[in-house]
Every structure is written in C-alpha cells, then in structure tokens.
Amino acid sequence: MDYFKFYDIPLSFSPDQALVKKKFYVFSKQYHPDFFVNESEEKQQEILELSTLNNKAFQTLSNPDKLLPYVLTLKDVLIDGEKYNLPQDFLMDMMDVNEAIMELEFEQDVTKLLEARKNADQIETNLNSELGLLTVDFENLNDDLAREILLKIKDIWYRKKYLLRIRESIDKFATR
C-alpha cells in the first residue's frame, strides 16, 4: 500500500513531519494489537498487518534517505535491480577521489586523507543542493515536467549511493 495514501497526505519529497508523526500516533493507538486480544484470529491478523504498515510508513516518510527512493519507486522511476549508468563527468570526478584513496593504501598521509574527505564533502554538498532545488514544490508540477525532474532526482540518488561507498573507503583509512 502507498504510505502517502495510508496517511492521507499528499505525495511529496518533504511531507509535513508534524502531520506524519500525528498520523503515526493516531494509527498506533487505533491499530495496537493489545486492544484486539479478544477478537477473532482474522481480526488480530488484520490489525497486526495494519500496525506493521503504520510502522513502515512512519519509518519511510520520516527518513529522507528512505523517502527519496520510496517516492522514485512509487513513480516508477526507480526499478529494483536496475543497471544504472552514471554520467561520465561524475565518474571522472570520482576517479580522482578513488586515486587519492588508493594512494593512501601505500602511503598513509593525513593531509591526503583530509583532502579526499574534503573533496567528497564538496561533491556531497553540491548534490544535496541540487537535490533540494529539484524536490521543492515537486507535487505542483505537471506530469511531463515532473517526470523529467524525477529522472534528475534518480540520477542524484545514484550519485549519492556511489559517494557513500567512497566515504566508507575514506573512513576505513581514517581508522587505521
């Protein structure tokens, strides 16, 4: 089930968090399994499913890292198991960062480590800035423009995933 429909809120990359929390608490009380112990097995199972749905909806809608891919999936832009090709210019930028990380394997240099982290931070800042601009007022766009924006958001999501792997490599060297 669509979590936005379940909570009866508009589809958005930035749903009203106070409303999300309010819906969560209302449904938590309404669908709490302890209130249905004297009901039939079928009713108890139904309530358990609704309680689980409520928890999953809240976890997704209140976490930007889960919300973004969820919306992209709802809009049929992000497909599970999809092979996505990142743009060549991004991969070239990442190659420079990867080379700096590989050099750290042979020569532990705090300056180079800090430089790699600084580069990753700057790339992430730029991606987040672009993402913020794309997701603003998304729900007010016409379908054609919305689709174009969704594809750009998808690209940023994949870039951020790639960057996360870079950060993990940097952190690995930082702990040595």
Mean pLDDT of 29-39: 93
Share of the chain above pLDDT 90, in %: 70
Q: Are 37 and 44 in contact (CB under 8 A)?
A: yes
Higher-pLDDT residue of 143 and 82 is 82
For residues 61 and 10, is the Cβ–Cβ distance under 8 A? no
Give the C-alpha separation, 146 to 62, whole Å: 22
Nearest Cα neighbor of 166 from 126, 108, 119, 131 is 119
**Assessment of whether the complete model's pTM goes beyond 0.85:** yes
In this predicted model, what pLDDT tens digit does every residue of 151-175 receive, in sequence order?
999 999 999 999 999 989 888 877 7
Find out whether 68 and 13 touch, Cβ atoms under 8 Å: yes
By percentage, how much of the chain surpasses pLDDT 70? Answer: 99
Helix (H, G, I), strand (E, B) or coil at 81: coil
The answer to whether 162 touches 86, Cβ cutoff 8 Å, is yes
> DSSP assignment of the chain, as one string?
--HHHHHT----SS--HHHHHHHHHHHHHHT-GGGGTTS-HHHHHHHHHHHHHHHHHHHHHT-HHHHHHHHHHHTT-S-TT---PPPHHHHHHHHHHHHHHHHHHHS--HHHHHHHHHHHHHHHHHHHHHHHHHHTTGGGS-HHHHHHHHHHHHHHHHHHHHHHHHHHHHHHHHT-
Tell the residue number behind the tokens 């009901």, with chain if given: 39
Domain extent listing, the chain: 3-62, 88-174
**pLDDT for residue 176:** 66
* Architecture per CATH, 3-62: Orthogonal Bundle (1.10)
Query: What is the mean predicted confidence (pLDDT) over 23-37?
Result: 95
Tokens 């108890």 belong to which residue? 44
CA distance 23 to 1: 16
The backbone torsions φ and ψ at residue 76, rounded to the nearest 5 degrees and listed phi first, read 60, 35
Check pLDDT > 90 for residue 48. yes
* pLDDT classification of 106: cutoffs 50, 70, 90: confident
Is residue 141 very low, low, confident or very high in pLDDT (cuts 50, 70, 90)?
confident
- pLDDT digits over 58-71, tens only? 999 999 999 999 99
